[in-house]
A and B are shown apart, each in its own frame.
Chain A
């Protein structure tokens, strides 16, 4: 029982750290509130959809930006297409409460609007980094929740 209490405390502390460090915002709380006995896997299902979608979009963003290098530059970049992909990532990240990914998407859309190639490249790198961090954090969170369920029998 002590082990279970300790795991629960670790989970509470870890979750609090994700909010404190800005990885998640209140929208994630709202997702958790939608999970109940009739829908016990709701958060994992939604977040898994987000992972799949984000990875597809990040690949599309890389392809769209990579296609303009090394020789072609700004004129060959399809900024409209780029912006459409960022728009999708911005919407889904805000819907699951992935706050830091969402913030980079705002800056990324501005770079698309300004047709700023350097800005877009920098934002792509940053959004990849933030996505990778929040993915790892959420996977850890789900692992901890699973451990608690198993320990509770």
Chain B
């Protein structure tokens, strides 16, 4: 993985990631990609509320991949809630609609990035490239 840092990498602990999506297929694919291609320590949950609850119980992740449309608590709401709790993780919004409105809402809620589904290798590489000092 070319874009993923340099020396010192091996001594740094693995990036921890949380995939938040109500679709089991997407959770499986994204988790496998983050683990196998990016060597991340990846977990997944099926809606925004589960992500918030996990953080309330003390969990912490370097990066959160947050779906937009989910039952119980959607991605915008969960992002706002997490930021309100002081969560500093990088949050990447993932949406099926590529329109500006969705993107702006995600960024306004506190996400650092927003991409159209599907999340793929190039998009994750872009996030890591845009934040060379990540994890913060």
**B is a partner of A:** yes
B-contacting residues of A (Cβ < 8 Å)?
Answer: 26-27, 30-31, 33-34, 36, 39, 42, 45-46, 49-50, 53, 84, 87-88, 90-92, 94-96
Specify which of B23, B36, B121 is in contact with A91 (CB 8 Å cutoff). Answer: B23
Residues of A within 8 A of B28 (CB): 45-46, 49
Interchain CB contact under 8 A, B24 and A91: no
The answer to whether A30 and B121 touch (CB under 8 A), given A42-B32, A87-B69, is: yes
Min CB distance, A28 to chain B, in Å? Answer: 11
Specify which of A27, A36, A87, A96 is in contact with B36 (CB 8 Å cutoff). Answer: A36
Interchain CB contact under 8 A, B96 and A92: no
Say if the beta carbon of B135 comes within 8 Å of chain A: no
Interchain CB contact under 8 A, A34 and B36: yes
A33 to B117, CA, bound (A): 18
A-contacting residues of B (Cβ < 8 Å)?
Answer: 21-26, 28-29, 32-33, 36-37, 67, 69, 96, 117-118, 120-121
Interchain CB contact under 8 A, B117 and A30: no
A50 to B118, CA, bound (A): 14
Residues of B within 8 A of A87 (CB): 69, 96
A95 to B116, CA, bound (A): 11
Interchain CB contact under 8 A, B118 and A27: yes
A49 to B27, CA, bound (A): 11
Interchain CB contact under 8 A, A95 and B24: no
Specify which of A33, A39, A84, A95 is in contact with B26 (CB 8 Å cutoff). Answer: A95
Residues of A within 8 A of B33 (CB): 30, 34
Interchain CB contact under 8 A, A31 and B36: no
A17 to B28, CA, bound (A): 27
Residues of B within 8 A of A26 (CB): 120
